[in-house]
Chains A and B, each alone.
Chain A
Amino acid sequence: MTAAVLNVEHLRTHYFTRAGVVKAVEDVSFEVRRGKVLGLVGESGSGKSVTGYSIMGLVDHPGRIVGGRILYNGTDLLALSEPEMRRLRGSRIAMIFQDPMMTLNPVLRIETQMVEAVLAHEPMSRQAARRRARDALGQVGIPSPDERLQAYPHQFSGGMRQRVVIAIAMLHNPDVIIADEATTALDVTIQGQILSEVQRLCQSHSTGLIWITHDLAVVAGIADEICVMYAGRVVERGTVDDVLDHPAHPYTFGLIGSVPSRNERGQPLRQIRGTTPSLANLPQGCAFRPRCFRANEICTNEPETMSISSRRETRCFHPLVAQPT
């Protein structure tokens, strides 16, 4: 088992809005290991992206990290000053965003946007930085990278733009990459290409990858380990096979059940009843309780995370798999 490069421990990120405190991330823990992929799964608003931003130290006002630790190679990122954090951002921990149409600045050349990313962390001549950028573009499979450096983002297709973004994220061979819905905006063919590209790059550089998505199919294909998030909490964690084959939390069970499958052609999709609760006004106890088919009185208490086996945890009073006794 490789060592964890990033440990998130009991992370809590809240947004202090006028309407009240929104607990976007509440007691989230996981670890990322070198060369491995952690899938962070959940619906919109489940706190997956905010978890990513928290790690990057990029939580926007009025949000604030109110508790927990984020250990990068043993250093707590939350204790770092802003200049120290800036040095890590983009060089040791990089992030890829969802929409490649929006991630690159429309009014600056690709060259400008790549060279600045190089120079932000390593002082060198512009020529050297440019060569580095060109090589990075080549590495992610962009043809004639020398010319393409001169182009503006709108002259690229969506898939190509996302490759540029990945190239920028990989510029400094980071230890961790956080990919926030990185293939969601792309069509399925391109999605597959990008997925395998990222997987290949991360494995060859032994980069730890956090793959944030709502798409279980993508996670099944890429991840080694899964965290399922619901209403700001990790409700289930385990290896990809364990979680997908034997979900422990009723929410995970419902999610898997609602994926269209070849074997159930013509059948209505099974859906989880109800909708995601507002994070500003969560139900008492387990946040999933009003939608859960196994809930009873005990669920009005806050369930603690409990381990089912080594490397397998869930946050439920009625897990669907047998607990060790």
Chain B
Amino acid sequence: MTVFIIRRLAQSLIVLLAMSLIAFGGVYLIGNPIDILIDPNATEAERMAAEHALGLDQPLWAQYWHFLVNLLHFDLGKSFSASIPVSDLLLQRLPATIELTIVAFLVSFLGVPLGVIAGRRPDSLLGKTIMAGSILGISLPSFWIGLMSIIVFSVWLGWLPSTGRGDTITILGTQWALFTWDGIKHLILPGVTLALFNFALLIRLARAGMQEALMTDYVKFGRAKGLFERRVVWLHAFKNILIPIITVQGLELANLLTGALLTEVIFAYPGIGRLAIESIHFLDRPVIVGYMMFVVTTFVVINLLVDIVYGIVDPRVRYSGGGND
């Protein structure tokens, strides 16, 4: 297991390096950030001074080298536009995204029991209704759902706020909205909008898994033992369908954590997804690259966690792992 983790981390370093190169080169291709950052009427001398201050006068490889050296000191550089360290900027925005992720993730888990129900009786009216709902959830784009929910719940009904994060309280130096009523109200619309896709996905995964599991011999044998049907379904079959669900949910969690770009923009929600979009507008390279680094790291870490969780759910994985445990 230890060897496995070390190998995994080494692999992820390579991914990080490649990612930073791509991000760096990509921003360079799009344009020169200095054109956006300084006043169009600035003199040539002012322009040179600004370029020098940001290090943009150096050749690209030198800038990249500089970035890598700083990265070794866990320094992602300073934002071009905000003039504060990128890591501060990310940490400032992260709690909002984490809260949104938690809400969306929890809401979407309702899809699992619904999928199980649909999988047990795929031909029943309820099963077909659930399935039809999941098709809608998967195919309707989240920006459309977001806009519609704003129109209905904020504009027409006036029940829920449509933008921002609402009141926050400070815990350990960071702002959290999940602990205020106003903050929770602000989380509902973006949270549900964001949850919808994963909710629909979970319905389909659980349904397909359940249909398959219910045909297996161990389920039949469970019934032949005289077990209650709910134990057969919710223990015997359910534990077996968790493996594909965990795989996909790991990726989905990483997806949510790295910022739901569209949803955050539509609801003007100050998470890191919106930060990424803003920094792309300003060609704020340190922020873009820093954001990318964060994304890659999150994916790597979560995938690692998923592999560890497999072992807990599936004993076959646990014991076949090279005999290290």
Partner of A105, one of B215, B228, B240: B240
A116 to B, closest residue via Cβ: B227
| Nearest-Cβ distance from residue B21 to partner chain A, whole angstroms | 42
Partner of A168, one of B215, B223, B225, B315: B225
Partner of B315, one of A91, A99, A106: A106
Report B293-325 CB contacts with A as 1/0, cut-off 8 Å.
000000000000000000001111001000000
Known: A89-B225, A116-B225, A120-B226. A102 touches B216 (CB 8 A): yes
- B217 adjacent to chain A (CB < 8 Å): yes
CB contacts (< 8 Å) of B240 on chain A: these are: 105-107
A89 with B226: CB separation less than 8 A: yes
Report A5-47 CB contacts with B as 1/0, cut-off 8 Å.
0000000000000000000000000000000000000000000
A89 with B218: CB separation less than 8 A: no
| Nearest-Cβ distance from residue B295 to partner chain A, whole angstroms | 33
CB contacts (< 8 Å) of B313 on chain A: these are: 107
A102 with B223: CB separation less than 8 A: no
A94 with B224: CB separation less than 8 A: yes
What are 29 sample pairs from A and B whose C-beta atoms fall under 8 A apart?
A56-B224, A58-B220, A60-B215, A86-B228, A88-B226, A89-B224, A90-B224, A90-B225, A90-B226, A90-B227, A91-B226, A94-B225, A95-B224, A97-B217, A97-B220, A99-B217, A102-B218, A103-B218, A103-B221, A106-B316, A107-B239, A107-B314, A107-B315, A108-B239, A117-B225, A120-B226, A121-B226, A152-B319, A154-B319
CA of A99 to CA of B239, assembled, Å: 21
- B113 adjacent to chain A (CB < 8 Å): no
CB contacts (< 8 Å) of A86 on chain B: these are: 226, 228
- A279 adjacent to chain B (CB < 8 Å): no
A117 with B227: CB separation less than 8 A: yes
Known: A104-B218, A107-B240. A58 touches B315 (CB 8 A): no
B225 with A165: CB separation less than 8 A: no
A154 with B227: CB separation less than 8 A: no
Report A49-62 CB contacts with B as 1/0, cut-off 8 Å.
00000001010100
- B85 adjacent to chain A (CB < 8 Å): no
Partner of B316, one of A87, A90, A91, A154: A154
CB contacts (< 8 Å) of B216 on chain A: these are: 102
- Which 3 A-B residue pairings sit nearest by Cβ, starting from the closest? A90-B226, A102-B217, A89-B226
CB contacts (< 8 Å) of A121 on chain B: these are: 226
CA of A116 to CA of B223, assembled, Å: 11
B226 with A97: CB separation less than 8 A: no
CA of A58 to CA of B236, assembled, Å: 17
- B222 adjacent to chain A (CB < 8 Å): yes
A-side interface residues toward B, CB under 8 Å? 56, 58, 60, 86-91, 94-95, 97-99, 102-108, 116-117, 120-121, 152, 154-155, 165, 168
A98 to B, closest residue via Cβ: B217
CA of A108 to CA of B314, assembled, Å: 9
A165 with B319: CB separation less than 8 A: no
CA of A121 to CA of B315, assembled, Å: 28
- B231 adjacent to chain A (CB < 8 Å): yes
Supplied contacts A102-B216, A104-B221, A154-B316, 18 more A-B pairs, CB within 8 Å: A58-B224, A89-B223, A89-B224, A89-B226, A90-B224, A91-B226, A97-B220, A103-B217, A105-B240, A106-B314, A107-B239, A107-B313, A107-B315, A108-B235, A116-B227, A120-B226, A152-B316, A154-B319
Partner of B226, one of A87, A108, A154, A165: A87
B221 with A97: CB separation less than 8 A: yes
Chain B 202-229 interface residues, beta-carbon cutoff 8 Å to A: 215-218, 220-228
B122 to A, closest residue via Cβ: A61
CB contacts (< 8 Å) of A106 on chain B: these are: 218, 240, 314-316
B320 to A, closest residue via Cβ: A154
CB contacts (< 8 Å) of B223 on chain A: these are: 56, 58, 89
CA of A103 to CA of B222, assembled, Å: 9
CA of A168 to CA of B218, assembled, Å: 13
CA of A94 to CA of B218, assembled, Å: 14
CA of A149 to CA of B215, assembled, Å: 26
